[in-house]
Amino acid sequence: MMYGGCARSSDVALLGRQHLTKDGRLRDTQFKNRKRSPVEIDVPVIDQLGQILEASPTGEMTFVMT
């Protein structure tokens, strides 16, 4: 949550490799108010987070498995 720019666990639970861009950023829309007034998450993937994601077993569509 700290490195992904997410304030809610519902946002973290949905994040996966499909949200990583080729230019090294993490992009998504926060779940809360996504239809009324969406808030875009667009943060750089810092080296520490990139290393963690590469070393950790993740699901196909989400980083968090449990």
Please indicate, yes or no, if residue 22 is contained in any of the structural domains: yes
Helix, strand, coil percentages in the chain from 3-state DSSP, rounded to 5: 25, 15, 60
Report d(CA 7, CA 11) in Å as an integer.
7
How many helices (H) and strands (E) are present in the chain, helices listed first? 2, 2
Asked if the structure places residue 19 within a domain, the reply is yes
This prediction has a pTM of 0.73
Q: Is residue 26 within a helix (H) or strand (E), and if so which, with residue range?
A: strand 25-29
Q: Which domain holds residue 51?
A: 9-55
What residues pair up with 58 in beta bridges, in sequence order? none
pLDDT recorded at residue 25: 92
Mean pLDDT by 10 residues, the chain (66 residues): 71 85 89 82 87 82 80
Number of domains in the chain: 1
Under 8 Å between Cβ of 34 and 53:
no
- Tell whether 3 is covered by a domain: no
Question: Is residue 65 a part of any domain in this protein?
Answer: no
